[in-house]
Chains A and B, each alone.
Chain A
């Protein structure tokens, strides 16, 4: 032990000396580097900005990790001695690595360190600096992100790195992004010819960010002089801007229509259950919204179970929640029909009051069980994010899935009504109750099942709405008015009318919103519906023949 111990000490000493000798020439530089890092950590905002620029200029390989720590807010200062360190989450606090030497500093409590203040602006600067540094990264995805970061920052100092990267780039998508970034930088070039060429390169693309850059060139300052001094470049930029504006305007209308369809699908989901209970059965069901709410809370409960028992399967929790919500809301609907509504058939005012009271009871019940605060329902990973078109229109996945889901539910419901025995009995009972009974149909059983079906569909709507709205006891209230509106507007008793009503209301609302604002737009739509109902009291798609009388 003594011998090996001594030898170990000796080896260590030799090692330290060797290291010192090797480091000696760069020690002064190292001191500068450490000073820059310290300036980045504790300086005023302008000093931090200068420190980032100076650090990038050193070309030191340690810079990237430090800048990434700034961008991710992981840079810390140790309170005891002011040492700057990069932190990583650890069960007992933070595990620190010295930002300058890379030494492991062990795990500390988060109280013992101060987070380096890095606001949005600073983190953005760090991000674009990282972009410059990672243009040559072996991973094409990283290179693409780097090119995008440079494009957004228009940072002239990245030009040489960009040229070099562009020469070696093999991936087409990345090449395009780099060319775009290069042109964006050259918009600020001193040479008018280079600017002109950059405007032409960018003018061929349809991107809101490019419009923003071109618009900036054409801005007049207060004394009447333009940002862009060269007239030819200005003319080219104006032309390019007009062309982009024109293309974007077409896209924008397409975007409004898509948003309208999306709103329409939400309205359809909320109203389709009511189209059964109110439209087909004639029950003024004020507790319909609470069935939607029950569905949303079922989603929450299902997700909690998944979180506790099988966190790895969280992504499928929503698929499990759909049938669960159907069953919960459907059973609640059957219980309501058997317990209350069947005694009130043919007395619409009393039904209205009873179901209104019921809705208040259900809200308070949920408030008591789950608490008054909103519950957090997570989105599975396949519903997050968006498809970005180049024209700045984003189609978010959650909305896309909801459009799809609403159409599937609608098709399923049509199938049940047209192609199954239960559907046949339902239609028979609603068209002529006495005759249906005479034919041997158990009408009270059919009533209960029909109400259950309508409520169950409302429950499924709750699953979808939990993805875009707050899950709170008041969730249902915000949809009940819209639901009645859609059913009445579309034509009572007709599912196709509900479909047409939901989508036309959605699209009309979204086309009006940009011009009239959200509040006035809604009012205008309401007024239009009132006028429409005056003209056509039976709604868009009116039932014909004897069924109307039933």
Chain B
């Protein structure tokens, strides 16, 4: 298909989409008619542990916004559906939200596979999705705003920290992960990054385990042996879910201390540590854009509001919750600025929106649909909180396509003129 064909198809799609969306607001944009917000998080099944909290935080944010007078003088109304940790069901529920419930925006998804499942639906129906979780990058959709961290906002800074004198000057690396797309892609990026920094493949050990792996004896012994080769060693863990608990337990049982072999994890946050015996984890690291322990006035107010809303002082806050906080406030500002909830208008208004981070500084939405955010590295404390030991000087711009993978280094994601593209080597116009 030639360039002309592509432009024609794109134009037709845009025309069709705007016809659809123009029809919808006309029917319901009367004064006082509520703006409907879809919430697409699993409330049952394996992911319910993590995602239920995000549903609750969205309800809290909507309630607060309504108390402040809603948006465009109209109240907000949450439409909650349960995709039940079932990936194909995510796509069905997304379609139901946009077509039947006629929501103006959707906040949702956690795992990468659920996002990949809803992506065609949002692109076909020109919906708007805010995705709040750190992920492997290598994607930029016109219909998705990624408010979680891209690899260069989490994995790369964490490795840089461990490479520095302060972090222990690690020269040998163990990349441990659960066997699916996020760890494999992240480790591919990390290996390329390490190679670029003079680490040879002999000094990298890469291992994958099945979901829910519980017998870590051999792997921990191998890590120990790998670390005993005369150079400081660090472990980068993309182990997901509750397999982390027996992993850290085995580390502690075999007497591996965080000071000897630090483990930095990208999927372990406050929520995962809550109600867990954190003794064996103390001193190990995690990299996020937000920690509950960060001492700012905004964060204090957010935590107080959360405790108030959920009615339980022991509940924790975490990074994806902050991502929803930022994403929701940006959407509200963009709608106010555009004067409508029309998806195309809101998308244009989103670029350059600024919202104060809960950890200080300001998050900015870029034209590649990723945020600029600060990166924090924390060590786990006995109480399940993090002690921030390092942070970036300013914000880091989220990079959709990694600079360290040759095929994707040449790609640009930019949804403004003249690019208008999520994965192009040259501008479209």
Contact = CB atoms under 8 A, between A and B. Distances in A.
Interface of A: 45-46, 73, 111, 114-115, 117, 119-121, 123-124, 127, 152, 208-209, 211-219, 252, 255-256, 259, 262-263, 266, 372-376, 378, 384-386, 388, 392-394, 396, 398-399, 468-470, 472, 474, 478, 510, 513-514, 517-519, 522
Interface size class of B (residues with CB under 8 A): 35 or more
A518 B209 contact: yes
B88 interface: no
A12 to B, nearest CB: 39
B253 A219 contact: no
Interface stretch (B15-23, B185-193, B333-341, B385-393): B385-393
B218 A514 contact: yes
Nearest 6 A/B pairs, CB to CB: A216-B230, A215-B230, A119-B389, A124-B259, A396-B253, A212-B228
B259 A127 contact: yes
A119 B390 contact: yes
A252 B222 CA distance: 10
Contacts of B242: 374, 470, 472
A215 B229 contact: yes
A511 to B, nearest CB: 9
Given A374-B242, A470-B246, A120 B218 contact: no
A406 B46 CA distance: 30
A45 B210 CA distance: 39
A399 B48 CA distance: 31
B14 interface: no
Contact of B255 (A218, A372, A375, A394): A394
A188 to B, nearest CB: 13
Given A212-B229, A399-B217, A469-B246, A120 B253 contact: no
B390 A517 contact: no
Given A213-B230, A373-B275, 10 more contacts: A73-B387, A120-B379, A215-B229, A372-B49, A374-B276, A469-B214, A470-B214, A474-B212, A514-B222, A519-B208
Interface in B185-208: 207-208
Given A120-B259, A216-B230, A394-B254, A519 B212 contact: no
Interface of B: 44, 46, 48-49, 165-168, 179, 207-210, 212-215, 217-219, 221-222, 224-225, 227-231, 242, 245-246, 249-250, 253-255, 258-260, 262, 275-277, 283, 285, 295, 379, 381, 387-390
Contact of A117 (B212, B260, B285, B389): B389
B209 A519 contact: yes
Given A120-B283, A255-B221, A514-B222, A216 B231 contact: yes
A39 to B, nearest CB: 16
22 contacts: A45-B165, A111-B295, A117-B388, A117-B389, A119-B379, A120-B259, A120-B285, A124-B259, A219-B231, A252-B225, A372-B44, A374-B49, A374-B275, A376-B276, A385-B253, A474-B46, A474-B212, A513-B218, A514-B222, A519-B179, A519-B208, A522-B210
A214 B227 CA distance: 13
B219 A518 contact: yes
Contacts of B246: 468-470
A124 B209 CA distance: 31
B168 A121 contact: yes
The majority secondary structure among interface residues of chain A is: helix
A495 to B, nearest CB: 24
Nearest to A111: B295
B265 to A, nearest CB: 14
Contacts of A469: 214, 246
A517 B167 CA distance: 29
Given A468-B246, A518-B208, A120 B262 contact: yes
B275 A119 contact: no
Contacts of A252: 221, 225
B48 to A, nearest CB: 5
Nearest to A217: B230
Nearest to B169: A121
Contacts of A120: 168, 258-259, 262, 283, 285, 379
B255 A388 contact: yes
A474 B249 CA distance: 20
Contacts of A470: 214, 242, 245-246
B218 A510 contact: yes
Contacts of B258: 120
A211 B167 contact: no
A398 B253 contact: yes
Given A120-B262, A372-B48, A518-B208, A259 B168 contact: no
Contacts of A519: 179, 208-210
Q: Interface centre among A219, A374, A393, by most B CB within 10 Å?
A: A374
Q: Which residue of A123, A255, A398, A469 has the most chain B CB atoms within 10 A of its CB atom?
A: A469
